[in-house]
Amino acid sequence: MIISVINTVLIVAAISGLLALLLVIADLLFANYGEMKITINGKKELVVKGGSSLLGLLNDNKIYLASACGGRGSCGFCKCKVNSGGGPLLPTEKPFLTPQEIEDNIRLSCQIKVKEDIFIEIPENIFNVQKYKAVVTEIKDLTYDIKELTLKLQEPASINFKAGQYVQLESPPYEKSRQSASRAYSISSSPDNQHFIQLIIRLVPAGICTTYIFDYLKSGDEINFTGPFGDFSIRDSQADMLFIAGGSGKAPIKSMVEYLYQHGSKRRMIYMFGARTRKDLYYTELFQDLEKKMVNFTYVPILSQPTEECEWKGKCGYVTPFFPEYIRDPQNTEAYLCGSPGMIAAVIKGLKSNGINEANIFYDSFA
Ligand SMILES: Cc1cc2nc3c(=O)[nH]c(=O)nc-3n(C[C@H](O)[C@H](O)[C@H](O)COP(=O)(O)OP(=O)(O)OC[C@H]3O[C@@H](n4cnc5c(N)ncnc54)[C@H](O)[C@@H]3O)c2cc1C
Ligand code: FES
């Protein structure tokens, strides 16, 4: 009995899958949607050939929405308001939208296929995002799995961004990926240098973009990126600042601290950097040097798994137990976090239980 139920379920699932596949193939081969109009913010009109994703059609017209996963429907960054013409909300969009966003007609632009005239709203600052051509001037090993990439901008020759923002780097098709890929990387250099940017890239085994950067990209090569994106940036106040990062999450924090140093900030700043072992630490001298130069800056590397051989005399464990030692006035402290979603969730919980107001916690999650 149970076996026959399972068989029926499997057969129905297989037939549904086949029908869905046939529909996709038929759509690709026979559908001709002709010209459609995308109306943006009630004033700008684009005439496009229908049938492609809204995100892709906007990109083709040099309007770049954030899309950290490159349109795969896994980051939830490519949101825009669709007033009409977007078709029904898809199951692939729902996990990324709050009930309020659904009520406000917010959609994921990478999931919408433009099949009729569509009316959308996007923030005005998106029109400042540009596509840049750059040349790699240096690739440096920071640890066994982290590299620093220095890019000299060619066209346009300079970029205006805020410390903490990120760009989307394009890896071209190569041996291990037939398609180009676009991935988000925080700028690690200070916004004061507008002609070069630096990125800190951690290798993701079998990852499309990071494998390209680690195994194929060379000094002198050209690479494209779009940006700047994101609202992870320094708030204009005199509150104490607590920076917390792990792994390549050091990138936007480095940009922020260097910017604050260059602009003579006297704010009290603590930077807690979590790593597993001593070989995961990097830029230690750079931050120890900043400690000497800045009156109110303290750098605290913390190892979660120090080995006996590494002779570590610093702090051990996770960052959260050390909060009481460094948070002086919780009501007057802003926290800036960057790292994996798991690390961010744990740190937010720890900060709140140490009296930090949630409204003063800012973060970028490298999901
Ligand atoms: C706003 C933002 C800023 C970011 N800034 C940085 C940065 O400064 N430096 C940096 O190194 N990365 C950063 N990232 C992560 C980066 O965008 C890519 O996700 C990462 O480099 C993997 O890309 P890939 O093409 O090599 O891997 P993919 O081909 O996308 O992934 C391959 C596989 O690995 C998994 N995977 C993807 N990302 C990770 C990960 N981080 N850890 C473990 N498994 C993963 C995927 O689920 C997939 O199964 C940032 C992400 C966001 C959203
Ligand atoms: S681009 Fe990532 S979800 Fe749309």
The Cα–Cα gap between 321 and 336 comes to: 17
Please give the backbone phi and psi of residue 65, each rounded to the nearest 5 degrees, phi first.
Answer: -80, 155
Closest ligand 2 atom to residue 110 Cα is 4
Yes or no: say if 242 and 106 are a contact pair by the CB < 8 Å rule. Answer: no
Residue 284 pLDDT exceeds 90 = yes
Give the per-residue pLDDT at 29: 57
Q: Give the rounded percent of residues in the chain with a pLDDT score beyond 90.
A: 84
Where residue 318 falls (left for φ over 0; alpha for ψ -120 to 50; beta otherwise) is: beta
304-361 residue pLDDT tens? 988 776 778 899 999 999 999 999 999 999 999 999 999 999 999 999 999 999 999 9
19-57 residue pLDDT tens? 666 665 656 555 667 899 999 999 999 999 999 999 999
Size of the chain, expressed as the number of residues it contains: 367
Closest ligand 2 atom to residue 108 Cα is 4
The Cα–Cα gap between 361 and 355 comes to: 11
Pocket test residue of 54, 77, 97 for ligand 2, highest count of atoms within 8 A of CB: 77
For the chain, the structural domain boundaries read 33-126, 130-229, 240-365
Which one-letter DSSP state was computed for residue 157? S
How is the beta sheet containing 269-275 ordered, strand by strand? 315-316, 297-303, 269-275, 240-246, 333-339, 361-365
CA-nearest residue, atom 18 of ligand 1: 183
> Mean of the pLDDT values across residues 255-259?
98
Yes or no: say if 282 and 248 are a contact pair by the CB < 8 Å rule. Answer: no
Residue type, 185: Y
Pocket test residue of 58, 65, 74 for ligand 2, highest count of atoms within 8 A of CB: 74
Number of CB atoms found within 10 A of residue 284's CB: 13
State the chain's maximal CA–CA distance in angstroms: 76
Residue 220 pLDDT exceeds 70 = yes
CA-nearest residue, atom 50 of ligand 1: 366
Nearest to 232 by CA among 247, 201, 253, 248: 253
The Cα–Cα gap between 127 and 112 comes to: 20
Task: Among the bound ligands, name the one nearest to the CA of residue 229.
Answer: 1
Q: Tokens standing for 142?
A: 């920071």
Nearest to 167 by CA among 240, 97, 238, 232: 232
Structure confidence at residue 3 as a pLDDT band (50, 70, 90):
low
Secondary structure class of 184 (helix, strand, coil): strand
Structure confidence at residue 160 as a pLDDT band (50, 70, 90):
very high
Pocket test residue of 52, 69, 182 for ligand 2, highest count of atoms within 8 A of CB: 69
Output the CATH code of domain 130-229.
Answer: 2.40.30.10
The Cα–Cα gap between 36 and 48 comes to: 5
Residue 13 pLDDT exceeds 70 = no
Residue 51 beta carbon below 6 angstroms from any ligand 2 atom: no
User: Who's near 100: CB < 8 A, 6+ residues apart?
Assistant: none
Pocket test residue of 185, 232, 336 for ligand 1, highest count of atoms within 8 A of CB: 185
- Measured CA angle at 187 (ends 186, 192), to 5 deg: 150
Pocket, ligand 1, Cβ cutoff 6 A: 68, 75, 166, 181, 183-186, 200-202, 204, 206-210, 248, 251, 364, 366-367
Q: Could you identify the residue written with the tokens 């700043």?
A: 269
CATH 3.10.20.30 fits 33-126, yes or no: yes
Choice between 148 and 308, residue whose per-residue pLDDT is larger: 148
Check for a shared fold between 130-229 and 240-365. no
For β-strands 146-155 and 130-141, DSSP reports them as antiparallel
- How many whole angstroms from 205 Cα to the centroid of ligand 1? 10
Yes or no: say if 140 and 147 are a contact pair by the CB < 8 Å rule. Answer: yes
- How many whole angstroms from 314 Cα to the centroid of ligand 1? 29
Yes or no: say if 302 and 275 are a contact pair by the CB < 8 Å rule. Answer: yes
Nearest to 49 by CA among 63, 64, 38: 38
Give the per-residue pLDDT at 11: 76
Residue 71 beta carbon below 6 angstroms from any ligand 2 atom: yes
pTM greater than the 0.75 cutoff: yes
- CATH class of the domain comprising 240-365: alpha beta
Q: Tokens standing for 347?
A: 């740190």
260-272 residue pLDDT tens? 999 999 999 999 9
